[in-house]
Structure 1
Amino acid sequence: MTPSISVVIPVFRSRTLLPHLYDRLASVLDGTNAGWELILVDDASNDGTFEAMLALHEKDHRVRVVRFARNMGQHHATLHGIKRSKGDYVLTLDDDLQNPPEEIPAFLAKVDEGYDLVIGKITGDKAHSLSRNIASRTVQFLVGKILGKPKSLSLSSYRCMSRRAAEAMGSYSGAHVYMPALMLGSVPADRICNIPVAHHPRLEGHSQYTPRKLLKLFSYLLVNHSSIPLRFMTIWGTLISVASLGYAGFVLVDVLANGSAVTGWPTLVILISFMSGTILMSMGILGEYIGRLISENARSGQSPVFEEYP
């Protein structure tokens, strides 16, 4: 029987948390009186997490398990689970129980109102360190500026989507997955909404998002989903080229008016300034072309059509 609800959870080094997570999820999902499946995607853990996942599968075959051969990151694991899902409702949440499973019925009810993507808006500060909270706010700001996220919309990893939203996101075939870009590029803004959710402290351990991983996510956002660095270099190259040519003109006027104490120095300065400006200008033009290639590649990896009534 095809399940009505699919729950997708990327898992990384959560061996001891998985039994608690399953118990709470099963209790909530059984209470919906609908068929369900739990898709656990192991992001190449090395602490016995996959064995714990297999034990849950043996206990309950509604638990489906996937194992990555190498660490790909939370966003890759989430998208992989979405592609494997079969339910009319597809939920994603973290494996650390900071997202309370007991709030799942509220997500389902909001999708039933006609929304295709419902995102949990965390009330108050997240139960993370100060540096992690600052990084999260920075990401929210950049996503708004780069991807056009509405100011009123908050992002989190606790989400519920309709079947067609899941299929639209699952059509993405690019190598660099960044879920906010995928969501905002797949679902019309008027079909996305927030609901308030709590954010509990971790039962044990600490966040696996190291500064290195956060920087990697920043790079996905800035490099793979925007041309801001290239546009910056274009502007910088233009300014430097204009300044170089201006300086060359100043040296030329000064030499004509006052002469030069060092033979050949004005010529050398003018040539270096001219060539430097030309090179930087050319790099800026190349940057514009590369930016357009990035944009075209992003569009080709995903269909822009969300719904159609022929």
Structure 2
Amino acid sequence: MNLSIVIPLLNEAESLYELHHWIAEVMQSNGFSYEILFIDDGSTDGSWEVIEALQQKDSNVKGIRFLKNFGKSQALHAGFARTQGDVVITMDADLQDNPEEIPELYQMIMEEGYDLVSGWKKKRFDSVIGKNLPSKLFNFAARKTSGVKLNDFNCGLKAYKSEVVKTVEVTGEMHRYIPVLAKNEGFGNIGEKVVQHQARKYGSTKFGMERFIRGFLDLITIWFLSKFGKRPMHLFGAWGALMLIIGFCFALYLGIDKLFINTSGRLLTERPQFYIALVAMILGSQFFVAGFLGELILRNKKQAKNYHIKEVLNLKE
């Protein structure tokens, strides 16, 4: 199979018929063998009934329905686990991503050898203050923190080699950082393509200030995981050693001063250096314990899904 098109969605019933027709038209005109995998992330507007109706007319349509809204990352994780295509395309269900970009994205993977190609919505039709400006700030911070030189981490339209989606673990809110996760797993040939952005035709955007804040918090998480995810002791041990050295130096100073210089002076507990030494050594010990615990958890962790599927459509369990 050439292509697997993975489409996570939440309350996009109005756009699904049009989106399916558009994708099918592009696939057939280019002679692709394909599957369209819709992941209903807890919709309440009848989106699943639309997906069932589409599957009745088109055997290329497949579906996954979550018990409730678990988030886009979990939807992608479930979809990636069931893809069968050589190239996997992700796109949003709101008609803002243009399916006519898919053939060129496919060629960039298959002919130019990219592991991953991310879309770049250079010209956007979103609110400047509500989404464009926060997105620019977020992308700037992501580039500087991750080292992955993309202009648009948030673009839902991306293409992947099958090996990439079968390797990366997309959990939490990490769907924005799949290129970074791929790079961390050794898939370093990451490209970018300017893609057409469509104005939203139905419904309302799911983007809000809460997602913007979560995005930056996730950026800190991905930075930590990229640098120290497989060796937490290197971070916590370094800080622990530094704190213990500081505490030991203050304690040594207090001991020498008390024994040889100021023998009749104040009690040690009356001097601020005593508390600095005490706090530094306690913090140092705690950092070391955190590092040890991180190493133990890393070596004994079990991979667990953090979503629950209610039913699947035209897919093998």
TM normalised by structure 2 equals 0.73
| Residues 71, 173 of structure 2: 8 Å contact kept | no
Rounded to whole Å, the distance in 2 between the matches of 1:30 and 1:209 is 33
Rounded to whole Å, the distance in 1 between the matches of 2:185 and 2:273 is 52
Tell me the equivalent position of 1:307: none
Letter in 2 for 1:87: G
Tell me the equivalent position of 2:272: 269
Which of 80, 102, 107 is the aligned partner of 1:104?
A: 102
Tell me the equivalent position of 1:87: 85
Letter in 1 for 2:44: N
Tell me the equivalent position of 1:58: 56
Post-superposition CA distance 1:9-32 (Å, at most 9, x none): 001111111112112112211211
Which of 3, 15, 18 is the aligned partner of 2:16?
A: 18
Rounded to whole Å, the distance in 2 between the matches of 1:104 and 1:152 is 19
Letter in 2 for 1:158: L
Deviation, structure 1 residue 39: 0.4
State the secondary structure of the residue aligned to 1:16.
helix
Deviation, structure 1 residue 158: 0.8
The correspondence of residues 289-300 of structure 1 with structure 2, limited to 5 A, is 289=292
| Structure 1 pair 240–285 and aligned structure 2 pair: CA distance change class (3 A) | closer
Post-superposition CA distance 1:33-89 (Å, at most 9, x none): 222211000111122221222121122221111011232211221232122111222
Post-superposition CA distance 1:125-184 (Å, at most 9, x none): 4634424334433443444344331x36653321122xxx32342234575462233332
| Residues 237, 283 of structure 1: 8 Å contact kept | no
| Structure 1 pair 78–227 and aligned structure 2 pair: CA distance change class (3 A) | same
| Residues 3, 32 of structure 2: 8 Å contact kept | yes
Tell me the equivalent position of 1:282: 285
State the secondary structure of the residue aligned to 1:86.
coil
Tell me the equivalent position of 2:182: 183
Larger relative contact order (C-alpha < 8 A, sep ≥ 6)? 2
Tell me the equivalent position of 2:139: 140
Tell me the equivalent position of 1:304: none
Letter in 2 for 1:41: I
Matched residues, percent identical? 24
Deviation, structure 1 residue 91: 0.8
Rounded to whole Å, the distance in 1 between the matches of 2:20 and 2:186 is 30
| Residues 248, 274 of structure 1: 8 Å contact kept | no
Q: Tell me whether 91-100 or 112-121 shows the greater mean CA deviation.
A: 112-121
Q: Tell me whether 217-226 or 97-106 shows the greater mean CA deviation.
A: 217-226
Q: Tell me whether 285-294 or 88-97 shows the greater mean CA deviation.
A: 285-294
Rounded to whole Å, the distance in 1 between the matches of 2:157 and 2:186 is 16
CA RMSD of the aligned region, Å? 3.9
Q: Tell me whether 77-86 or 121-130 shows the greater mean CA deviation.
A: 121-130
Rounded to whole Å, the distance in 1 between the matches of 2:269 and 2:186 is 60
Rounded to whole Å, the distance in 2 between the matches of 1:284 and 1:143 is 27
Deviation, structure 1 residue 213: 3.4
| Structure 1 pair 242–79 and aligned structure 2 pair: CA distance change class (3 A) | same
Give the unaligned 5+ runs of structure 1: 302-310
| Residues 241, 276 of structure 1: 8 Å contact kept | no
| Residues 127, 200 of structure 1: 8 Å contact kept | no
Letter in 2 for 1:133: N
| Structure 1 pair 205–67 and aligned structure 2 pair: CA distance change class (3 A) | same
Figure out how many residues of one structure are paired with residues of the other and give that number: 291
| Residues 237, 277 of structure 1: 8 Å contact kept | no
Deviation, structure 1 residue 105: 1.8
Tell me the equivalent position of 2:70: 72
The correspondence of residues 157-172 of structure 1 with structure 2, limited to 5 A, is 157-161=156-160, 165-172=161-168
Post-superposition CA distance 1:80-118 (Å, at most 9, x none): 212211122221111111111122122122223232322
| Structure 1 pair 114–297 and aligned structure 2 pair: CA distance change class (3 A) | farther
Rounded to whole Å, the distance in 2 between the matches of 1:31 and 1:184 is 33
Rounded to whole Å, the distance in 1 between the matches of 2:121 and 2:197 is 6
| Structure 1 pair 174–36 and aligned structure 2 pair: CA distance change class (3 A) | closer
Rounded to whole Å, the distance in 1 between the matches of 2:212 and 2:164 is 26
Confirm or deny that 1:213 pairs with 2:211.
yes
| Structure 1 pair 130–188 and aligned structure 2 pair: CA distance change class (3 A) | same
TM normalised by structure 1 equals 0.75
| Structure 1 pair 69–143 and aligned structure 2 pair: CA distance change class (3 A) | same
| Structure 1 pair 154–290 and aligned structure 2 pair: CA distance change class (3 A) | farther
Rounded to whole Å, the distance in 2 between the matches of 1:244 and 1:209 is 50
Confirm or deny that 1:130 pairs with 2:129.
yes
